[in-house]
Every structure is written in structure tokens, then in C-alpha cells.
Amino acid sequence: MTARWRVLKRLLGIQRVLVRHGLDDFIKSTHFLRPMRFIFYLLPRAKDVDEPLGKRLRLALEELGPIFVKFGQAVSTRRDLLPPDVADELAKLQDQVPPFPGTVAIEIIDAAYERSVHEVFKRFDAEPFAAASIAQVHTAALQNGTEVIVKVLRPGVRELIDLDLEVLFALAGLADRYWAEGKRLRPLEVVAEYEKTIIDELDLMREGANAAQLKRNFEDSDLLYVPEVYWDFCRPEVLVQERIYGVPISDMAALRGANTDIQKLAENGVEIFFTQVFRHNFFHADMHPGNIFVQIDDPQNPKYAAIDFGIVGTLSPTDQRYLAENFLAFFDRDYYKIAKLHIDSGWVPPNTRIDELESAVRTVCEPIFNKPLAEISFAQVLIRLFDTARRFNMEIQPQLILLQKTLFNIEGLGRELYPQLDLWKTAYPVLRRWMDEQVGGRAVIDSIRSNLPQLREALRELPGVVKHLADQAADGNLHMTIRSEELTRIEQALARQQRERYLLIAAGTATVSGTLLLALQTLPLLGWSLLVAGVLGFLLGRPRGS
């Protein structure tokens, strides 16, 4: 079957499912289904159109498969944007997707271990404990009695995801070619970024590695607990982790009944997110309520416990720095800086008038400043931001979509937990500390330490370079008036290398002198000046391509 036919067949299948569940309006209003909407008149009509819209929508997403379920999970975190009955139904997609039979899970585990599940575990509960779009979870006990969860991939999930990715790429290609907004919104790159995310989620060994990294990052923290991974029992299709106990973050009645400090819990959630993004540059990117629990052994100091680490995100140093500066500029109401950062980063065309962009950003942001979540209509803010982006031809940044999705989840969670949360006040100290670490004295020392090997190498090569230049001068080669193109290129490269080495030597001298002055507590201002000059020398003298 050709790829084009597979895509067409899947689109028809999507349309058939929507019609069967009485969701005809989605076909009429969805742009990519409009060319085929006449077909829905020929399909069997829905039998249970009297069922509530939320239930019909949930059942349709479940039937359509993992990518659609994940969309429903993301939307379900935003109760402020949905009717209550729809939000309640979509919330079931977080951990109540229909499971596959326990006997099938046992067959998968037996094949992965190449021996019986009952030889591996002291107890294995065939009845699924929870089920989601990619995998389902069973409870079990190791031979030493340790309580664990066993996560098992759904059979056939890779094939279904591959098919839906084909559909998404086909639609993205059409949008890129024919849609006026295609070039700016970069649909092909967006789908390619999503493809990497969803495919990574199918390898449970990768999920285990993500969990281990996150656990190390918060090892000495009282904010977040990450369950232990039992590597001896992990395979690409099977993950075994410590079983944790806690109150689901969505169970507000239980949290309030235990006299939990809800405000502190909400503020800690914001701190965890910004710490992951900026201090660790490694963030849990699937933070819907089904993946978050609260340990309330001490209700006045509640602690988060997270599960499901299949999707994590990282940022490039450049994006990380620009985002932090954008956040801080927003907190300081420095809209000129926000506009300049967007131009400098290439997020808007270089010929954009900075004053016009500054005015547009101020118009969108100023009304929400310092308001609690309960008084902010983020739906309206997003619409206005999109309008602003379109006006200034701002390109979407595919590498930031995962972060934006996580922010979407976090803001929705914060709204549910503590609507009075001052999101800006909570995040500001975390970002300020991180920025101080990036440009303060500690950053200078770290830069010096990282460049010391280059300095040693430059000093070691200096005698040979000097001799080579002296030999050239003696032969008259430095003042040739007629040069071949190749010789000119070589001489330019040698001259550049010489400048780089001289800069590194000067940087090393300034660094050593500054360090001595600071160590002797003599002329500290001059000492810091020399250290800064040394860092600049290292940066300017760093060989090209490094």
C-alpha cells in the first residue's frame, strides 16, 4: 500500500470515527477535513448522540489512538477553557484509558525476560492498575518483597503512531505549500519536533534514564520525589520502578481534608518548573494531573511525587538565555528589552521596528501584570499574542513547543490548586538567581577553569610558532608582494592563529594576575577587572570552530 493511500485511508477512518460519535461539527469546521466532508453524509449515523458531548469526545479520542489521546490529556488540564462536563470526561484520558488484557501484558513481559513473569516477580497483579495511551501499569512485588510498578507498552502502538505521523506530515506538507501562514508557522518542523518526542516515549529504557536523571537533579531537594528505577528488570518494552504512594494532585478534597498548605504546594510547583528549565535544563514535559501526586506526611510541607518520564525537554544554551531574559524583562515591565530580544534572537525579521514591537508587547502584557491566576484570561492573552505574532511575521520556534505545552499544563494546574497564586512573584527569585550565576563572579571563575586547557596548549605551542615566524621573516616570505591565492589563504590562517594565541597568552596573564590580587585581598577592583579582561581574552582568542 502506498504512503498516499495509507494517509487517505487513515483520514477517512478519522472522519468515520467522528461521525459515529456524533461529532459532525468537527468535520465541518476542521480545515483539512473540509474537502472530504461530503462523505460524512454517506457514513452510518451516530447511535448515541444523546450522550453528553464530553463523553462522546472522550470515546472518539480513545478510539483514534495515542496521538489523539495525548491531545485530549493536554486540553483537559485547562478547565478554565472548557465546559465542566467536557473537562471531567477528558480528565479520564490521563490514566483511565481502556486497558488491554492482563494476559497480553504477561505475554509481553515473558517475551522480554525470556522466562515466566512469575519467576521474575514474587507477585504480579494481572489486573491493570492504570492505563494510558502508550502503556499500562501493573502492580507487583520483587522477590525481596519490594513493592513496584511494572509499565508495559501497548501492543501495536508503534505501528499506529507511525501511521498517524504519516498523516501529520502529509497535512503539514500541504499547509507549508498552500497555506498563507505556513512559512511563518513552520508546520513541517513542528511535526518533526513532535515526532522525536513521541518516538522517544516508546522506549521505556529511555524513560528509565530520564527518571534517573531527574532523581539525581532533585536528590537533595524537599520539593520533588522521583521513584527509584530497578534497572535489572527494565527492557525497551518493560519498565520497573518503585511504587510510590500519595494523593493525586487532582483530588483537592483529600488535600484540603488533610489540611495541606495549598498555597505552598502551588508555589513549590512553580519553583520546580523553573528550576528544571533553567537550573537543570532538563524538565518533565508531561505534567498533567495523572502524573503528579502529593506526599502529605507533613501537610504543612507537602512534597510532589512525579511519575511517567517518557517526555522530557531540554533547551539550547542560547534559547535558555533568551527565555530567561524575556521572563525577567517581563517581570520588570521592560518591554523595550523584550522587543529587542525577539529581534536579536531572530524570532522576528531583522527589519522589524523595535518601537512598534515594544508597543504591541506592552499592549498585550500590561493588563495581566501582577494579577493572580483567577483574574487572568489566558485564552484572550493567547489570542492577542497570536495576532501580534502574525502582524510582525514572527516565526514559530518548533524547539520551544514542548516548553510551551508544559507551561500550558503548569498554568492550568496552578489555576486548579490555588487561583490566587502570584505566578510572577514566585518565579522571579528562581530566574534572578540563575541569571546571577550565569553572569556573576561564579560564572567568571567557571569560564576561566574551562579555558585553562586551551591556555596550556597555547603556551606549549608558542615557541614553535615564534620560530616558524622567524624562519619566514629570514626567508623574506612575510613580505612577498606576489602571492598565490593558496599562499594568501595560508598566511591569513597563520596570522589568525597568531592573534588567537597572543590573546590567550594575554588572557592567561590577566587571569593569573587577577586571581593573585584577589587571593591576597589586594586591590580587589583591579583583580576583578583583570579576571573579566581574562575571560574576554579567552572568548576572543578561542580558536574558530570550537
Residues with catalytic roles: 286
- Helix or strand or coil: residue 155? coil
Q: Which residues contact 467 (CB under 8 A, 6 or more apart)?
A: none
Angle between helices 66-76 and 187-200 (to 10 degrees): 100
Phi–psi pair at 498, nearest 5 degrees? -65, -45
Q: Do the beta carbons of residue 254 and residue 206 sit within 8 Å?
A: no
Q: Which residues contact 121 (CB under 8 A, 6 or more apart)?
A: 140, 141, 142, 143, 148, 150
- Helix or strand or coil: residue 282? coil
Q: Which residues of 375-513 form beta strands (DSSP E)?
A: none
Q: Which residues contact 118 (CB under 8 A, 6 or more apart)?
A: 124
Q: Do the beta carbons of residue 285 and residue 311 sit within 8 Å?
A: yes
Distance from C-alpha of 278 to C-alpha of 276, rounded to nearest angstrom: 6
248: β partners: 293
- Helix or strand or coil: residue 395? coil
Residue 216's nearest CA partner among 158, 276, 168, 274 is 276
Q: Which residues of 223-368 form beta strands (DSSP E)?
A: 224-225, 238-242, 247-248, 283-284, 292-295, 303-306, 312-313
Distance from C-alpha of 123 to C-alpha of 120, rounded to nearest angstrom: 9
Whole-angstrom CA distances from 176 to 32, 119, 188, 199, 515 are 13, 54, 7, 23, 55
Q: Do the beta carbons of residue 455 and residue 508 sit within 8 Å?
A: yes
Q: What is the dihedral of CA 503, 505, 511, 515, to 10 degrees?
A: -170
β-pairing verdict for 224-225 and 303-306 = parallel
How distant is the alpha carbon of residue 457 from its chain centre? 38
Residue 228 has what DSSP assignment? Answer: P
Residue 28 burial (C-beta neighbours within 10 Å; 0-12, 13-18, 19+):
exposed
Phi–psi pair at 294, nearest 5 degrees? -125, 125
β-pairing verdict for 247-248 and 130-131 = unpaired
- Helix or strand or coil: residue 137? strand
